[in-house]
Copies of this chain bind each other. A is one copy, B any other.
Amino acid sequence: MQEQIAHILKHHQLRVTACRKQVIAVFLDKRHAIGHSELERQLADFDRVTIYRTLNTFLEKGIVHQVPDDVGEAKYALCSDDCDEHAHQDEHVHFKCLECNKLTCIAEIAIPNLTLPKGYVMKHATLLIKGLCEDCGIAN
Contacts and interface: CB of A to CB of B under 8 A. Distances in A.
Interface of A: 66, 68, 70, 72, 93, 95, 98, 106, 108-109, 111-112, 114-135, 137-138, 140
A132 B108 contact: no
5 contacts: A72-B72, A116-B129, A117-B134, A122-B131, A125-B128
For this chain, the copies found in one complex come to: 2
A123 B119 contact: no
A130 B111 CA distance: 13
A130 to B, nearest CB: 4
Closest 4 CB pairs of A and B: A119-B134, A123-B131, A121-B132, A122-B131
A114 B138 contact: no
